[in-house]
Amino acid sequence: MKPLSSLPDATVLADPDVLEAFRRDESHVAGCMPLAVVRPHGPAALRGLVRLARAEGFGLVPRGAGTGKAGGCVPTSRTVVVDLSEWPGAIQVSPQDLCLTAPVSAPLREVKAKAAASGLFYPPDPNSWESCALGGTLATNAGGPNACKYGMTRNWVLGLDVLLADGEVHTFGIRSVKANAGPNLAQLFVGSEGIFGLILGATLRLTPQPREHATLLLPVKRWTDLLDLPGRLAEAGFLPSAFEFFDPAVLAELRAHGPEEARRLPGEALAILEFDERGCASDAFLEALADLLGPVAESLEIASGARQREGIWAVRRLTSAFLKERHPKKVSEDIVVPRSQLRLFFERLEATGIPAVSYGHLGDGNLHVNLLAAGDTPPDELEAQLMTLFRLAVDLGGTLSGEHGIGLAKRDAFLALSDPAHIEVLRGLKRTLDPDGIFNPGKVI
């Protein structure tokens, strides 16, 4: 695109073969061909981009690493992709303030590693943490296994630097959790999926690294026995740092076609439980836990060292990619129901007859319900199946997305299932922050 070639301090990509790769993320939706892809290297590039977007009438689609599962970073019509992978800056840890600052281009794995090198912990751990960018995790308010104890990304955000529609970068928040001078605007941008502005840097809260872990592999004889466990653990005062599961169908796929380490996984269904509080590896703790789990467990395997723990987690982390390789056109959702409604949810899901398989974050009711045959299902039928699934979650007091966000993929369902007042407030914020509709047009609302 011609006017972009004069943009200062940026790499501009315009080769159609290169642009093609930016039409997709890890969701099932494909976007339009972008007008260009711009990698800004400083404020002058951002200023120029906003000015050109307004003058030429194109939108700006922020992109991190493109691992999103809601079509949030795929281009809509007449848009330029703003790829933030080259945004400059270094990760700096402040042990005294128990925080770090980082540019959005930082890979999440490096953010976590830098914190760990100072004996500190940055908990957010989407299963894509080896490949996603910090910016994407902020913009989607990413979750992951640890969210069941540590909460979502937003719990760890103290401040953000954000490009607003005036073309300037503004800072919201301070280096402390105590910040009550008016409503917290940094939090408004967390999970906003790029529709209010572009996040460029963050100040993130840290906590001391857990020193002990107890990681358990819990195969069950009857899969439905798993469904009451998250609530029963909570009732009994246990707070796992992760509680993941595979239903019988996913477990069978892994056993039949997965990598070597998956082939010997026991049980009709399987859970991975992890605890990380002080004393969790003690005999007393494990015995109390075994009393609770024993009646439903086929066996109970406790990882005896870092290597075995890593082996258990490796199988969980590869599950999404493994299923996608076997079923490239599958649709993967991330609905949520309250822990107390898990059993009822699965009973009702079965009654719908929708051919779905599930795995994911059972501990906080965030379920990756997958429609493996989506590619062979007529589009109208698929849409009806997805709406039935979303309604099921909403009717039980849950929501249609626990962590991936709305993006392009779930926009229609989000609009249909939300309280109109909710949508009106969001649209009002959008009009105020982005009156010309420059940022990520056509997404979420």
Binding stretches for ligand FAD (CB under 6 A): 25-26, 61-69, 72-73, 84, 104, 126-128, 132-133, 135-137, 139-140, 142-144, 193-194, 198-199, 320-321, 403-404, 407, 440
Nearer to ligand FAD, 297 or 331 (CB): 331
Q: Is 247:349 a contact under the CB 8 Å cutoff?
A: no
Whose Cβ is closer to ligand FAD: residue 137's or residue 293's? 137
- Could you tell me the smallest distance in angstroms from the CB atom of residue 130 to ligand FAD? 9
What is the dihedral angle through the alpha carbons of 404, 405, 407, 408, rounded to the nearest 10 degrees?
Answer: 80
Residue 226: phi, psi to the nearest 5?
-70, -25
DSSP H/E element including 209: none
Cβ 89 to ligand FAD shortest distance, Å: 12
CB of 150 vs ligand FAD, minimal distance in Å? 13
- What are the two backbone dihedrals, phi and then psi, of residue 61, each rounded to the nearest 5 degrees? -105, 105
Closest distance of CB 33 from ligand FAD, Å: 17
Closest to ligand FAD by CB, 102 vs 214, is: 102
Instruction: Give whichever of 31 and 219 is closer to ligand FAD, judged by the CB atom.
Output: 31
Maximum CA extent, the chain: 69
Shortest distance in whole angstroms from residue 341 CB to ligand FAD: 21
Residue 142 DSSP code: -
Q: In terms of Cα–Cα distance, which of 71, 75, 61, 74 is closest to 28? A: 71
Nearer to ligand FAD, 101 or 137 (CB): 137
Residue 67 or 358 with smaller CB distance to ligand FAD: 67
In the numeric block, which tokens belong to residue 293? Answer: 């789990």
Q: Measured between alpha carbons, how far is 293 from 298 in angstroms, rounded to an integer?
A: 10
**Of residues 189 and 223, the one with the C-beta less far from ligand FAD:** 189
CB of 299 to ligand FAD, least distance (A): 27
* Nearest distance in Å: CB 421, ligand FAD: 24
Placement of tokens 């949508």 in the chain? 423
Residue with tokens 């976007």: 31
Residue type, 444: V
d(CA 216, CA 229): 14
Find how far residue 297's CA is from the centre of its chain: 30
Whether the CB-CB separation of 111 and 124 falls below 8 Å is answered with: no
